[in-house]
Amino acid sequence: MDLNDPELEFSDLVFAYQTWVMAIINDEKLQETDEKLLTEEMTEDAFKAMRFLPAEVTSAIETSLARVYNVDADELALLLFPEDTEED
């Protein structure tokens, strides 16, 4: 994702973050195949998008997808940001 692209829209940021969350849910919870969906590019794009998305938007995406895929919100938070819960 090129953040300098004049054609970049808010929806592109939302899509990048949403795609990342869905890939993590699929890879960590659904595990229907051994093939992982998450790529470094997805992760990179999602982290770029997070810089510009309000916390309310990222939270809404996470909450909605957790409900759709029947994943506990706290468990999803651990999957998305495991470094935030690591003990020193």
Q: In the prediction, which pLDDT does 84 show?
A: 65
What is the block-wise mean pLDDT of the chain (88 residues), using blocks of 10 residues? Answer: 83 95 88 81 94 94 92 89 66
Alpha-carbon torsion, ordered 71, 74, 76, 81, to 10 deg: 180
Enter the pTM of the model: 0.85
Q: In the prediction, which pLDDT does 87 show?
A: 54
The HSE-up count of residue 59 (CA atoms within 13 Å, CB side) is: 3
Q: In the prediction, which pLDDT does 88 show?
A: 45
Give the domain ranges of the chain: 10-81
